[in-house]
Copies of this chain bind each other. A is one copy, B any other.
Amino acid sequence: MKISILKNVLNEAIQHVSKAISSRTTIPILSGIKLDVNHQGVTLTASDTDISIQSFIPMEDGDQTVVQVEQPGSVVLPAKFFVEIIKKLPSQEIHMEVKDQFQTFISSGATEIQIVGLDPEEFPVLPNIEENQVISVPGDLLKNMIKQTVFSISTHETTPILTGVLWNLAEGELKFVATDRHRLATRSAHLETSEGLRFSNVVIAGKTLNELSRIIPDQNMLVDIVVADNQVLFKVDRVLFYSRILDGTYPDTSRIIPTSYKTELIVDTKSLSESIDRAYLLSREEKTNIVKMQSLENGGLEISSSSSELGKVREEVTVSKFEGEPLKISFNSKYMLDVLKVIDSEQLTIAFTGIMSPIILKPADSSNALYIILPYRTTN
């Protein structure tokens, strides 16, 4: 293998694939990035077995020559050093040559580097996914759906299936569900899909979805998604992102979502968020995060918290619509703030069915998202 390549392009591809590198891998070859060079361009691959990322650099980008190939070939280079040194090379032009026993020589300006490379044959082969069922999702929508659900996953490894987000697709509706048993987040969106395309019980690790989000560019482009037996493939521009589907059956959460409410009210999302944030500051000192919410006779909503050592916070939030019975409930304010941070509608509907029933939160202007928080049982 012998090539010349532009530093910024190589660096960008390295940044993409390096998200799949685990610093704690026990398999030496997986601490490396594989480079494959042919006359079409350079392909970089990294994998931690749960996630694999591949990024392709074509020979040319528009009018610009990006890669010049003198000799095709492959090598695996230790990721940690390779990632950092490429970023810091002095010149845009980088020459790379692999010699005997995968010794790799890199030069740029007055810098000469020799890296002990590894045998590319030892690198795991990526899953072969048949692309007969492809759905396309706008990148910003996908990022938003991830952001609006992934915070509710469980972090306990005792229930591995709950550390993922459930994806279901039926009749053109893609739906995400995440729960840690104390709270639940759902978000759905209508997509243009080919008729009859559907899947269920596709559970993808929250960690993986966060990495995927970072790879999706801010410019709005389509992400192609292919679901196979135990793998999902995301195609983002020239990056292929493979993720394992978590084993197991996701619990049925449909029963815990109430369908009728005793109380329903609409408030301004920002006002509520700021009020609960102040009450949270105090409740945090008690390490309980408990905040109380109750309707007032004047039609307002009182948010309060108290700490035996520190004092009290009392807030009043204006309610723009109130229907049903008076309300009084205590909850984990951290969970509530997590929801308020990701709801992107100006007005928010809060619904209750009783003091010990879940609190429902949803955007006032849309039915595409719904959040549930279990209340605290308190004595006063």
Contacts and interface: CB of A to CB of B under 8 A. Distances in A.
Interface of A: 78, 80-81, 84-85, 88-90, 103-104, 110-116, 274-275, 277-278, 281-282, 285, 309-317
A245 to B, nearest CB: 35
Most buried by B among A89, A281, A311, A314: A311
A111 B314 contact: yes
A283 to B, nearest CB: 11
Contacts of A315: 110-112
A166 to B, nearest CB: 35
B281 A115 contact: no
A320 to B, nearest CB: 15
24 contacts: A78-B310, A81-B282, A81-B285, A81-B310, A85-B281, A88-B274, A88-B277, A88-B281, A89-B278, A90-B274, A110-B275, A110-B317, A111-B275, A111-B278, A111-B314, A112-B313, A112-B314, A113-B282, A113-B311, A113-B312, A113-B313, A113-B314, A114-B311, A116-B309
Nearest to A309: B116
A314 B310 CA distance: 60
Contacts of A310: 78, 81, 115-116
Contacts of A313: 85, 111-114
Contacts of A281: 81, 84-85, 88
A264 B204 CA distance: 61
A314 to B, nearest CB: 4
A185 to B, nearest CB: 25
- The 3 A-B pairs of least Cβ separation, nearest first, read A115-B311, A110-B316, A114-B311
A274 B285 CA distance: 46
Given A81-B285, A285-B80, A278 B311 contact: no
Contacts of A90: 274
Most buried by B among A103, A104, A278: A278
Most buried by B among A275, A309, A310, A317: A310
Given A113-B282, A116-B309, 5 more contacts: A111-B314, A112-B315, A113-B312, A114-B312, A115-B311
Contact of A278 (B88, B275, B278): B88
Contacts of A278: 85, 88-89, 111, 113
Nearest to A88: B278
A282 B84 CA distance: 10
A81 B104 CA distance: 56
Nearest to A116: B311
